């Protein structure tokens, strides 16, 4: 009896120490790659690579998987003309898992919203549910090296919305928001927008929460990734807003655009929106007040984050590659 009473505390201590070690490894993962002064960089693999098939995506992951990058954001797993099959999803999951750096998968409309079943009917809700099971079940990034993520699905009311996640490096907070490029999956047919309306409620809660956390933790910036462009700089203000009137009823980005601008006005730091809008010329960040917009388009690019500089964010012109393999501003040899 005495021997058992001695061993039990020892076993408890060992288990407690092991648990603490695991928790520290996961919790510390989000800051593991931060450098001196929290200067870091992230890469974006645009939809032009995932739309080009598996080989092109594999090459993009390889090209942006160097030690300088703290994490990669990959826009979508498949092209619009590829099948919405479990087999393809699984193959892309295995491919992304081979990346050495942490990978955050941003869902694209072609992954789920544009999927149809054998009868030609929309299969969007079922395919999105399947993607959530395959790509968003863990509280960490994909890839061999992990960053800890906080998912919206941790909130009991929004258990389904695991694709929305946030993480931080230093004093910069990052988050994904599921807003696909096809007008946020808003459908013009009457009575067909249940998925859009439910996700609108979830995203509204998510955006309020993100800004509250960023403000409470005195973050210098909040970066929001989505495939769709909410056109935050197209929103009229003041007299222009009165003259132009309300946004069209079929604008799937109207509410998130107004909400982001409203929340950004009360946030003391910078707000950067990064999306998959296709652009001509070199990608660049456009600022209006404290709100910035970067259209990554189909390209793969890297962004340098330096909290000690005035703008905080800068696109590395040396690390911009188009989906056809050429560098922006250069001809392909």
E-strand ranges in the chain read 40-45, 71-75, 103-106, 150-151, 165-169, 172-176, 221-225, 270-275, 285-288, 291-295, 300-305, 313-321
Helix (H) or strand (E) holding 199: helix 194-216
Q: What is the pLDDT of residue 246?
A: 53
Per-residue pLDDT of the chain (333 residues; tens, 9 = 90+): 444 333 433 434 444 443 333 334 334 334 444 554 689 999 998 877 666 578 888 888 888 877 889 999 999 999 888 999 999 999 999 999 999 999 999 999 999 999 999 898 999 999 999 999 999 999 999 999 999 999 999 999 999 999 999 999 999 999 999 999 999 999 887 667 899 999 999 999 999 999 999 999 999 999 999 999 999 998 665 544 444 555 567 899 999 999 999 999 999 999 999 998 777 778 899 999 999 999 987 778 999 999 889 899 999 988 887 765 555 444 333
- Token pair 């076993």: residue: 11
Q: What is the pLDDT of residue 139?
A: 97
3-state helix, strand, coil in the chain (%, to 5): 40, 20, 40
Order of strands across the sheet with 300-305? 103-106, 71-75, 40-45, 300-305, 313-321
263 Cβ contact partners less than 8 Å away, ≥ 6 residues apart: 207, 208, 211, 271
Q: What is the pLDDT of residue 177?
A: 98
Q: What is the pLDDT of residue 189?
A: 75
Q: What is the pLDDT of residue 192?
A: 78
96 Cβ contact partners less than 8 Å away, ≥ 6 residues apart: 61, 74, 77, 103, 105, 142, 143
Q: What is the pLDDT of residue 29?
A: 38
Tokens matching residue 186: 């808003």
Model confidence, pTM: 0.84
- Give the Cβ contact number of residue 111 at 10 Å: 32
């Amino acid at each position: 009896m005495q021997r058992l009473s001695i061993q039990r505390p020892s076993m408890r201590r060992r288990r407690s120490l092991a648990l603490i070690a695991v928790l520290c490894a996961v919790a510390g993962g989000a800051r593991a790659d931060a450098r001196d002064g929290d200067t870091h960089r992230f890469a974006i693999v645009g939809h032009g690579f995932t739309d080009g098939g598996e080989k092109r995506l594999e090459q993009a992951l390889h090209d942006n998987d160097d030690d300088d990058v703290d994490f990669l954001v990959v826009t979508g797993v498949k092209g619009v003309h590829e099948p919405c099959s479990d087999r393809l999803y699984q193959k892309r999951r295995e491919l992304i898992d081979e990346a050495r750096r942490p990978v955050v998968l941003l869902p694209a409309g072609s992954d789920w919203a544009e999927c149809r079943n054998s009868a030609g009917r929309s299969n969007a809700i079922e395919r999105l549910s399947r993607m959530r099971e395959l790509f968003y079940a863990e509280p960490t990034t994909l890839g061999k090296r992990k960053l800890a993520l906080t998912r919206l699905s941790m909130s009991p009311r929004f258990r389904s919305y695991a694709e929305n996640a946030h993480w931080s490096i230093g004093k910069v907070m990052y988050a994904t928001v599921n807003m696909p490029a096809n007008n946020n999956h808003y459908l013009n047919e009457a009575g067909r927008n249940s998925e859009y309306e439910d996700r609108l409620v979830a995203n509204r809660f998510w955006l309020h929460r993100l800004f509250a956390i960023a403000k409470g933790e005195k973050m210098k910036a909040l970066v929001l990734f989505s495939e769709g462009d909410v056109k935050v700089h197209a929103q009229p203000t003041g007299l222009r807003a009165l003259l132009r009137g309300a946004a069209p009823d079929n604008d799937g980005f109207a509410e998130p655009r107004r909400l982001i601008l409203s929340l950004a006005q009360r946030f003391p730091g910078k707000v950067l929106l990064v999306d998959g809008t296709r652009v001509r010329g070199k990608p660049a960040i456009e600022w209006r007040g404290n709100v910035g917009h970067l259209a990554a388009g189909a390209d793969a690019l890297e962004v340098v984050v330096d909290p000690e500089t005035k703008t905080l964010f800068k696109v590395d012109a040396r690390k911009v590659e188009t989906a056809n393999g050429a560098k922006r501003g250069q001809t392909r040899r």
